[in-house]
Structure 1
Amino acid sequence: MDEIHLLEDFLYEAIFQRDENNLLPRDIIRQPELSVYINDFGRTDDHCLVAQCDGKIVGAVWARIITGKVKGFGNVDDSTPELAISIHKEYRSKGIGTNLLKSMLHLLKEFGYTQTSLAVQKDNYALKVYQSVGFIIIEESEEDYLMLCKCSEIM
């Protein structure tokens, strides 16, 4: 995939930032708990889909099984791929993210995965999108939900 270098940008944009006037520094993606989503991307269990509009890549959804000392925020076990998704701001609320999510869920099902997971902050606008495609809340912390989608339930 020629777009691997774009994952850094999409990872940064995937971070839910409440205060647009006080954004986190871009190098935050170098922290281990974030960099696990993109480091050495392209392994056997890594999958990525992108959305294009007018010849420009405007969104990405990627999934990988994260193992090792540092786990992802949405980790449920060592055999469940964890999803991350990001759409450029100007292309949000147009159905692109929903379509990317659905496409990734079908792809994971084709590869034989039984489920996939993600983490989302409770006040993130994307929560409803995740629920609309089949993710359910399986765990709750003060700020986040851990969500799971059973691939067998994907039509």
Structure 2
Amino acid sequence: MNAFRIRPATGEDARVLADMLVEAANWDPARARSRVTVLEDPAVRHYVAGWQRPGDFGCVAEDARGVAVGACWARLFPANAPGYGFVAAGVPELTLGVYPQWRAQGAGRALLRELAREAAARGHARLSLSVQRANFAQRLYISEGYVTVASSETADTMVRTVR
């Protein structure tokens, strides 16, 4: 396994989170979209726009040289401007992105676990997310205790209790 370390995401990590949002959106290489196309989509852009707002939190995985290889972060969305994985106001919705060469090496799992610890430390009881059913990451979410609470034709909204 390649060595990586996890650190808190800061206000200076907006670019890193945007990069990881593009990775998350492009989980299926056969349907990959350009960075510009992904970040121009308002429904996707709001996961990183204005980072780091009050209430935003996250973590970044870095390799031994300090280069970001993945990130996981959470935001609160209001009911009138929900994210794809919205379940309720006050429940942070997470996003996880890891560069392909770092997938299946523990970085995503470590990021998810650190985000859950931080969510609990901040007093949140749950985390939510949305995942396409065909996305291999869904197996990771299930193994980390996320359960499906709503479904559409192709995606599931999942929630995990963190305290």
Pick one of 15, 33, 36 that aligns with 1:24.
Answer: 33
CA distance in 2, matches of 1:108, 1:69: 23
Counterpart secondary structure, 2:120: helix
2:129 counterpart residue number: 118
CA distance in 1, matches of 2:97, 2:41: 18
Number of residue equivalences = 151
Contact 2:26 2:32 in 1 (8 A): no
Contact 2:79 2:88 in 1 (8 A): no
CA distance in 2, matches of 1:9, 1:26: 8
CA distance in 2, matches of 1:51, 1:106: 15
Contiguous gaps of at least 5 residues in structure 1: none
Distance 1:106 1:61, change over 3 A: same
Pick one of 27, 40, 50 that aligns with 1:40.
Answer: 50
Percent identical among aligned pairs is 28
Pick one of 71, 76, 81 that aligns with 1:70.
Answer: 81
Residue 131 of structure 1 aligns with an amino acid whose one-letter code is: I
Instruction: Normalising by structure 1, report the TM-score.
Output: 0.91
Contiguous gaps of at least 5 residues in structure 2: 1-9
Deviation of 1:42 (Å): 1.1
1:3 counterpart residue number: 13
Contact 1:32 1:70 in 2 (8 A): no
